Amino acid sequence: MIKFIFADSWSPYLVGTLIGVLSWFSFIISRKALGTSTSFARGSAKLGALFLGEKVYDWKYYQKYKPELEWQSMLVIGIVIGSFISAVLSGEFNLAFLPQTEFESILNQNLIGRIFSAFTGGILLGFGARLAGGCTSGHGISGTFQLSIASWISLVGFFVGGAITAFLIF
Amino acid sequence: MESKLRLIKGLGTGIFFGFLLQRGGVTDYNVLVGQLLLEDFTVARIILTAIVVGMLGVYFLSDRGLVVLKPKSGSLRRTISGSLIFGAGFALLGYCPGTIAGAIGQGSIDALIPGLLGIFTGSFIFAAFYEKYSNFIEKNKFKFNTFPELFKINHWKIIIPLTTVIIIFLFWLESIGF
């Protein structure tokens, strides 16, 4: 048991099963599906307001998704904490700017390249998630298991778009 | 503002989720990019297992009136273009919105600074587009949100075959040594 808690990693089947079970509890306890990307949209209003002023809070999208702390934003904060706990327990916590990877490229092995790839990648990810209406968790797991048509199309699109781009870069 | 209890429920759920993502290895750039390059199938294993377990449980609970499903809607233009753009970003950044939070927790500064800033910027650009083109974006929504509604059949007639296909696929993945 002790060994299990401090293990570097758990079987993906165990982790997948536990995420599935966590989804049941999320529905039962919070009446919500696991998802994360809407929180970034809410937060983005604050960033926009720094440049364009308070008027952005009146935009239609931010009227729908108000820039406030709610269930899902707390879930995202929880992910940071949970991952930190797991990483510390398994000795995997590591402050680093450049990711350790066997897939080396100018986009991830020097500072400028990584700032560029992470920032532009983030822009596409944020925009794409809003257009598609969800991300790998909201569509990819929670949406697909509810048999949502949009979610199954999204899951395929995420990995097709991702694989094409990855094969072009690496 | 939501109630304090609700915020705590969100935080607690997130802590479990983050722990699992990290322990599953999917907060790691190398594992995520490895999946997109079809060299490491950890992400597929986790997602597909979570789909099977989540689906069986949530539909079982929903049949007994214990939970209310919230399937997402979309439209062909929105869902297809959005998911492909998302995928391109996923490959460049090497994290997705949930796993980036996990990557931050395990100390990845590329996730915390340029990555997060990028996601906020991209979401903001979308909100600006939405301000001008919301009618176009919201057009031609799917008439049915889920496959059981579309095919007008009982959901278990999809859940059982789908579960079988996923399990066979996972066994096959193991057997070819991926």
Q: How far apart are CA A77 and CA A38, in angstroms?
A: 13
Residues paired with residue B108 on neighbouring β-strands, in sequence order: A96
In the structure, what pLDDT confidence band is assigned to residue B141 with cuts at 50, 70 and 90? very high
Percentage of residues in chain B having pLDDT higher than 70: 100
Provide the residue ranges of all domains of chain B, joining segments of one domain with +: 1-176
Torsion B142-B146-B151-B152 (CA) sign = negative
Q: How far apart are CA B58 and CA B53, in angstroms?
A: 8
SS3 B99: helix
In the structure, what pLDDT confidence band is assigned to residue B177 with cuts at 50, 70 and 90? confident
Alpha-carbon distance B163 to nearest alpha carbon in chain A (angstroms): 10
Tokens of A162: 């991702």
What are the b/e assignments for A90-119, b being 16+ CB within 10 Å?
bebbeeebbbebebeeebbeeeeebbbbbb
Percentage of residues in chain B having pLDDT higher than 90: 98
Phi-psi region for residue A129, left (φ > 0), alpha (ψ -120 to 50) or beta? alpha
- pLDDT of A25 reads 98
- For residue B48, pLDDT over 80 is answered with yes
HSE toward the beta carbon, residue B4, CA cutoff 13 A: 0
Tokens of A148: 């949502």
Locate the chain B residue with the closest alpha carbon to A115.
B114
**Span B48-60, average pLDDT:** 98
User: Looking at beta carbons, which residues of chain A come within 8 Å of B148?
Assistant: 147
Q: Do B47 and A16 touch (CB under 8 A)?
A: yes
- For residue B1, pLDDT over 80 is answered with no
- pLDDT of A8 reads 87
**Span A20-38, average pLDDT:** 97
- pLDDT of A5 reads 86
Q: How far apart are CA B71 and CA A32, in angstroms?
A: 11
**Span B150-162, average pLDDT:** 98
- For residue A87, pLDDT over 80 is answered with yes
Distances (CA, A) of B47 to A42, A142, B35, B44: 26, 10, 12, 5
**Span A144-162, average pLDDT:** 98
Q: Do B87 and A23 touch (CB under 8 A)?
A: no
DSSP A116: H
How confident is the prediction for chain B on average, in pLDDT?
97
Residues 50-109 of A with CB under 8 A from B: 56, 59-62, 68-87, 90, 92-103, 107-108
- For residue A1, pLDDT over 90 is answered with no
- For residue B128, pLDDT over 90 is answered with yes
In the structure, what pLDDT confidence band is assigned to residue B70 with cuts at 50, 70 and 90? very high
Tokens of B98: 């949930």
- pLDDT of A109 reads 94
- pLDDT of B148 reads 98
| pTM (global) more than 0.90 | yes
- pLDDT of B178 reads 78
Of B110, B134, B145, the CB nearest to A99: B110
Torsion A52-A58-A63-A67 (CA) sign = positive
Distances (CA, A) of B154 to A70, A106, A146, B129, B159: 34, 51, 13, 39, 9
- For residue A60, pLDDT over 90 is answered with yes
- Contact of A18 with B20, CB cutoff 8 Å: yes
- Contact of B58 with A26, CB cutoff 8 Å: no
Q: How far apart are CA A70 and CA B7, in angstroms?
A: 6
